[in-house]
A and B are shown apart, each in its own frame.
Chain A
Amino acid sequence: MMRTRQWAIVLGIYIVAGLVGAVALWWLTHALTPIFRPLKGANLWAAVGGSVAFWIGLMALLHRMPASVKKRVAVVVTFVSGLFYVLEFYLPKKSGIFFWRTHHTNPFSPMLDTVGVATLVITGFTLLLATFNLCLVHGKNIAARRTGYYNSVAFYLAFFAMATFGLWQNHAPTSKLFASKVTVAQVYGYLFNSTYVPLGSTLFSVLAFYMATAAFRAFRVRTAEAGFMMVAAFICMMGQVPLGMWLTHTLPLHGPLSHLRMESMANWVLGVFSMAGLRAVTFGIFVGALAMSLRIWLNLERGAFFEQEL
């Protein structure tokens, strides 16, 4: 009885908060929409300077706040942000409930672009934060001369080379490098195609070698299930390559015997057994994701990052 009452109170708080949040959100996004219009010249720099000053001030203020206040701010921001997308997505495009609108349209839909731009800005901040963090970690490695610090030196060299030529070629791609005939875009192209591309490919291709040793050392047919898995793996691996197709190429392309062709069997395994299993797994994942999203949105989640009660 007590628990039911508690849940009713929590639900009531969320309904009231949702209504207040919806009105506040609608007002806020309407008020902020002019900020996201393109600016030029002095207005642009004034806006950039003002934004930087405002955010530094806000961050400094938050920094001085006690942990409980910071958490409350995070909870409110998460709830209001999630609320916007819920209201925009679930409320109808046109309805009589929007009686104050000229065409009775969903008042949140026109703000989708503005909120999208805000999301882009926040993502930009997170990228900057990640870069700063990476530089800090590697900087500490070099300063303390930790084991393998030369890897951190390599990081700095690669980071600054790519960043310098990337930004330079973005700004002036045809400018010449130190009075030579080589353009900045060519240098960047060389760094990208001859360093970045092969390094990335090499890193991924190393997986194939580990997979081969793992297949030899770990794949043991101890049970009937493992036996089925091995048969399925054989059919799928062979059904995707010309060698496997060649093994059954004497069978006709049409008719009942065509189902015994390697590629037909591989497609059957993928399209029947594998698909049924994946449907079940995907369904489970998304039900879990829905529950998890609701828990985070409504601040019910506990555990890593959420362990302390407010």
Chain B
Amino acid sequence: MKLDWQFWSRRLIWLALAIATAVFLLVKVHARMYVSRPALDLYRAVEAVPPDKIIVISCNWEMGTYGENGPQTEALIRQCLKLGKRFAIFGWTWPPGPMLGQQIAERLQRPYHRRYGRDWVNWGFNTGGSPMIRGWAKNIPGTIKEDIFHKPIMSYPVMKGVNTARDVGLIIDITPSNTLITWIEFVYGIYRTPIGYACTGVMAPEAFPYYDAHQIVGVLKGLAGAAEYEQLLGYRGDALKRMPAQSSAHALIIALIVLGNVIYLRARRRGQAPGARLTTT
């Protein structure tokens, strides 16, 4: 019986990738990151927010990118709780985002003796996209109105003096989507409110033109960015624990590219180059 190489090669690659990641998730390996400039800048921007201003943590993500955006949210919330910076969780592209942010903040607040309403608040999810953000920047209580528990947001002490985007010290957009441009156009462009960006790895290159132009204060690039942030905060969270698994997955993919090209070159030398086939299923 002839072995179907196309069929089995795919299964072998999937198995290799599963093993490469699973082994390093199960075995404890101490990973060390070198903190990049964009992550350090974001860290310093959070530190520099004055006490009379609030930080907005825009949880524009959902479960699909939990692996990257989850540790980023956790690291940023942890820093706010640690430094006693008041913050608001908010979302406007993915409905589950604020709820996931709420779970993370509730889990982390106890060791730092912080309390909902006094130190942080959750504005929940708002639809409306860019027009809503324009209105929000101009009138926060008028646009948000209630928190996730259906109480007026202005009834919480944490909201004292927060009326427009000028009262916001920093907006950190945590997202796999292209929402950064809306913040830059309608908030930074008009009110000069500093913007930070924590995105998935694939979205990171898109942020660099804005970072270079100082339109955003810092960038967290995917899981690596979250790991760098954890290192800055001095704790080993999910990101640092997952970095060895990501290392092995990257190494495997590079090895597969090299192997694929070696097979291709050998076949071409024999005069039977198959060419690239994009069928991957």
When distances are taken between beta carbons in the complex, the residues of chain A under 8 Å from B112 are: none
**Is B260's CB within 8 Å of the partner chain A?**
yes
Partner-contacting stretch, out of A51-59, A63-71, A135-143, A211-219: A211-219
Residue contact A275 to B209, C-beta cutoff 8 Å: yes
**Is A33's CB within 8 Å of the partner chain B?**
no
Interface size on B, residues (CB 8 A): 69
Contact flags (1/0) for B109-147 with A, using CB distance below 8 Å?
Answer: 000000000000000001111011011001100110000
Residue contact B260 to A216, C-beta cutoff 8 Å: yes
When distances are taken between beta carbons in the complex, the residues of chain A under 8 Å from B10 are: 213
Residue contact B250 to A211, C-beta cutoff 8 Å: no
Residue contact A211 to B206, C-beta cutoff 8 Å: no
**Is A9's CB within 8 Å of the partner chain B?**
no
**Is A210's CB within 8 Å of the partner chain B?**
yes
Complex Cα–Cα for A201 and B16 (A) = 20
Partner-contacting stretch, out of A118-126, A151-159, A298-306: A118-126
Given A123-B128, A201-B64, A213-B14; A278-B205 close (CB under 8 Å) = yes
When distances are taken between beta carbons in the complex, the residues of chain A under 8 Å from B246 are: 240-241
Residue contact B221 to A240, C-beta cutoff 8 Å: yes
Q: Which one of B13, B257, B279 has the greatest number of beta carbons of chain A within 10 Å?
A: B257
A205 to chain B: closest residue by CB:
B67
B99 to chain A: closest residue by CB:
A192
Given A112-B135, A192-B99, A240-B201; A278-B14 close (CB under 8 Å) = no
When distances are taken between beta carbons in the complex, the residues of chain A under 8 Å from B221 are: 240
When distances are taken between beta carbons in the complex, the residues of chain B under 8 Å from A271 are: 208, 212
Task: Tell me the minimal C-beta distance from B174 to chain A in angstroms.
Answer: 16
When distances are taken between beta carbons in the complex, the residues of chain B under 8 Å from A211 are: 253
Partner of A217 from B100, B243, B278 at Cβ < 8 Å: B278
Complex Cα–Cα for A193 and B102 (A) = 13
When distances are taken between beta carbons in the complex, the residues of chain B under 8 Å from A85 are: 131
Complex Cα–Cα for A199 and B103 (A) = 18
When distances are taken between beta carbons in the complex, the residues of chain A under 8 Å from B252 are: 212
When distances are taken between beta carbons in the complex, the residues of chain A under 8 Å from B48 are: none
Residue contact B34 to A197, C-beta cutoff 8 Å: no
When distances are taken between beta carbons in the complex, the residues of chain B under 8 Å from A282 are: 206, 209
Complex Cα–Cα for A217 and B280 (A) = 8
Partner of B138 from A112, A123, A199, A217 at Cβ < 8 Å: A112
Complex Cα–Cα for A221 and B212 (A) = 32
When distances are taken between beta carbons in the complex, the residues of chain A under 8 Å from B71 are: none
Task: Tell me the minimal C-beta distance from B109 to chain A in angstroms.
Answer: 18
When distances are taken between beta carbons in the complex, the residues of chain A under 8 Å from B261 are: 219-221
Residue contact B67 to A201, C-beta cutoff 8 Å: yes
**Is A18's CB within 8 Å of the partner chain B?**
no
Residue contact A116 to B17, C-beta cutoff 8 Å: no
Given A208-B17, A263-B36; A218-B63 close (CB under 8 Å) = no
Complex Cα–Cα for A218 and B263 (A) = 12
Task: Tell me the minimal C-beta distance from A278 to chain B in angstroms.
Answer: 6
**Is B155's CB within 8 Å of the partner chain A?**
no
Complex Cα–Cα for A216 and B250 (A) = 13
**Is B191's CB within 8 Å of the partner chain A?**
no
Complex Cα–Cα for A271 and B10 (A) = 35
Residue contact A215 to B99, C-beta cutoff 8 Å: no
Contact flags (1/0) for B244-274 with A, using CB distance below 8 Å?
Answer: 1011111111101101110010000000000
State the 5 A-B residue pairs at the shortest beta-carbon distance, nearest first: A200-B63, A116-B135, A204-B64, A243-B247, A241-B247
14 contacts between A and B (CB under 8 A): A119-B131, A197-B63, A201-B63, A201-B64, A203-B64, A204-B64, A209-B14, A212-B256, A213-B14, A216-B9, A218-B276, A219-B260, A240-B221, A241-B243
Given contacts A209-B13, A219-B276, A243-B250, 18 further A-B contacts (CB under 8 A): A113-B138, A123-B127, A124-B127, A193-B103, A200-B62, A201-B66, A201-B67, A209-B14, A212-B252, A212-B253, A212-B256, A214-B278, A214-B280, A217-B279, A219-B257, A221-B261, A241-B246, A275-B212
Show the binding face of A for B, using Cβ within 8 Å: 85, 112-113, 115-116, 119-120, 123-124, 127, 192-193, 196-201, 203-205, 208-221, 230, 233-234, 237-238, 240-245, 253, 261, 263, 267, 270-271, 274-275, 278-279, 282
Show the binding face of B for A, using Cβ within 8 Å: 9-10, 13-14, 16-18, 31-34, 36-37, 62-67, 96, 99-100, 103, 126-129, 131-132, 134-135, 138-139, 142-143, 201, 204-206, 208-209, 212, 221-222, 224, 243-244, 246-254, 256-257, 259-261, 264, 275-281
